[in-house]
Amino acid sequence: MSTHAIFRAPTPRNEPINDYAPGSSERERLQRRIQQMRDERIEIPLVIGGKDVTTGELKQAVMPHDKEHVLADVHQGSAAHVQMAVDAAASAWADWSRWPWEERATVLLRAAELLAGPWRDTLNAATMLGQSKTAHQAEIDAACESIDFFRFNVEFMTRIYAEQPISSPGMWNRIEYRPLEGFVFAVSPFNFTAIAANLTSSPALMGNTIVWKPAGTAMLSAYYLMRLFQEAGLPDGVINLVYGSGPAIGDAALGSPHLAGIHFTGSTPVFNGMWRTVASNMERFRNYPRIVGETGGKDFIVAHPSADVDALATAIVRGSFEYQGQKCSASSRVYAPSNLWPALRERLQEQVATITMGDVSDFRNFMGAVIDSASFRTQADAIEEAKASSQSDIVVGGGYDDSRGYFVEPTVIETRDPGFRTMRDELFGPVVTTYVYDENKWDDTLELVDKTAPYGLTGAVFSEDRAAVTDAQEKLRYTAGNFYVNDKPTGAVVGQQPFGGARASGTNDKAGSMWNLIRWVSPRSIKETFTPPTSYRYPFMDAGADDAGT
């Protein structure tokens, strides 16, 4: 295939968010799809080389808010299936890695249109039921953010390709952005369907082939996402879906000589373990694998004594409790000045008391359940610890109940110890801890914000005083890769706030920007000389008058 034009990709725009208000046709359609999915119990295969593969080893996909309700029985793979997927990826690579960029782009642009239209309800409903997201949370994730990744990444790819070297007279220098030689291992977390969409499709767009292991708690949405890729025209073997336990699938994939890259999002300990496995396998690899990982966070909101209390309270409630606090960007530690605390405390108690929680199919709920029994235990333990400690009190919430689903009340803890465990550890649930600082100790507080946790993902400063904003921006330069001023620290939008953090939060390769895509290519410099020299001698070597006699 050859291209006889320099094509321009369609200008991307962020997908508009449906609001699912009562009486709207979109609400009715989504509710119908939810009902269908609740009523059926499907069997889900692995998809390797475009073929459905069953293993007979089944794991149930349940609804976190109704834990006995089985949505699907999902076939689980083993090391042998990873090998099949690696082989399928290699055979697809021979062709896909040579497709013209615009042909690859059409697959993703078509996926975006299908998801904006006929697939929207399916991916949203699967995300709602399987991951316990409300309609709004599913819409901004599974539909809008996935669509944005597909559309914007096409544009980012063209920007990378357009980056070319200069050429001196008589030659033409070019850079070709080759796909990596080997497969990319994509490992996705449970909490964002769009992350799974991006971890797989961004390397694929750049011409790579993928072995994909989704989270065991997001298997239903992963299945429909795979079907969407297939319907969009992704050739067989470009993305290979292998369900299974993390270590079983991970160790097999990370031991393959053909591993060219890891595209991971999940917790810091799992990423550290993968990095160690890669290091111990170094002699086997044909290439040094690209290791890209976005990991945990202990995201903060720090309020200056000049902050607007209403804006602050709203940011805490939305930033800490939307999707049950299970966003890597969710605020989980708050630094409140003593002058504002009485008012803030009251607002939090009032607002949190009005939060509705329950089955996400009931659209009146603001929150669903946490993802599984392990997370439920983590939250319950932290709450009990706070209740028992002389250093902390429960401001609001503190209840939990897993009789039907894994429900944890939105909980605000107040601590008098800035190093209290829940100020440091990622809990990944609807529990936020507040430390009230002496309003005269702004500088010391910024120091605490920076030093308390090992992470560096997101954070927000609230202040009406410009100097304090500048101060925080400067002193917290490395404390957050996504820094917000008078806004909650969640809700990054593709193309608007490229996402990621450093320190223990990952490699900060900024999903939703061209900087992520650059990791999935291995540039080749090509120099072509039009009239090459035909003698090895340089002019300076010719004899001149001054050389006589020497």
Q: Which residues bind ligand NAD (CB under 6 A)?
A: 187-192, 195, 213-216, 246-247, 250, 265-267, 270, 273-274, 294-297, 328, 426, 428, 457, 499-500, 505-506
Residues 6+ positions from 316 with CB-CB distance below 8 Å = 301, 331, 334, 344, 348, 412, 432, 488
Which CB sits closer to ligand NAD, 294 or 414? 294
Which CB sits closer to ligand NAD, 109 or 187? 187
Backbone angles phi, psi at 207, to 5 degrees: 100, 10
Where do we find the tokens 């300990």? 269
Which CB sits closer to ligand NAD, 295 or 445? 295
Among 68, 3, 2, 1, CA closest to 38: 68
Which CB sits closer to ligand NAD, 137 or 295? 295
Which CB sits closer to ligand NAD, 102 or 426? 426
- Partners of 435 in the beta sheet? 335, 415
Q: Is 316 helix (H, G, I), strand (E, B) or coil?
A: helix
What's the rounded Cα separation, in Å, for the pair 504 and 26? 40
Shortest gap between Cβ of 194 and ligand NAD (angstroms)?
10
Shortest gap between Cβ of 40 and ligand NAD (angstroms)?
25
Query: If residue 31 lies in a helix (H) or strand (E), which one and from where to where?
Result: helix 25-39
Shortest gap between Cβ of 458 and ligand NAD (angstroms)?
9
Which CB sits closer to ligand NAD, 374 or 526? 374
Residues 6+ positions from 134 with CB-CB distance below 8 Å = 128, 323, 360, 363, 365, 366, 367, 368
Which CB sits closer to ligand NAD, 216 or 358? 216
What's the rounded Cα separation, in Å, for the pair 75 and 22? 38
In the structure encoding, which two tokens stand for residue 317, read together? Answer: 């409630």
Where do we find the tokens 């369609």? 10
Shortest gap between Cβ of 218 and ligand NAD (angstroms)?
7
Neighbours of 98 (CB within 10 A): 10
Which CB sits closer to ligand NAD, 12 or 250? 250
For residue 118, the number of C-alpha atoms closer than 13 Å in the C-beta half-sphere is 7
Which CB sits closer to ligand NAD, 146 or 463? 146
Shortest gap between Cβ of 195 and ligand NAD (angstroms)?
6
Shortest gap between Cβ of 256 and ligand NAD (angstroms)?
13
Q: Which residues are catalytic?
A: 294, 328
- Partners of 261 in the beta sheet? 184, 290
CA distances from 502 to 35, 186, 264, 406 (A): 42, 20, 14, 31
CB 112 within 8 A of CB 194: no
Shortest gap between Cβ of 296 and ligand NAD (angstroms)?
4
Shortest gap between Cβ of 405 and ligand NAD (angstroms)?
17
Shortest gap between Cβ of 216 and ligand NAD (angstroms)?
5
What's the rounded Cα separation, in Å, for the pair 132 and 404? 13
- Helices marked H in 132-265: 135-138, 146-162, 193-205, 219-231, 246-254
HEC string for 286-310: CCCCEEEEECCCCEEEEECCCCCHH
HEC string for 390-435: CCEEEEECCCEECCCCCEECCEEEEECCCCCHHHHCCCCCCEEEEE
Shortest gap between Cβ of 248 and ligand NAD (angstroms)?
8
Among 163, 179, 14, 19, CA closest to 95: 179
Among 221, 53, 199, CA closest to 128: 221
CA distances from 116 to 25, 112, 141, 233 (A): 15, 6, 12, 16
Which CB sits closer to ligand NAD, 351 or 516? 516
Nearest 10 degrees: Cα torsion 422, 424, 426, 428: 40
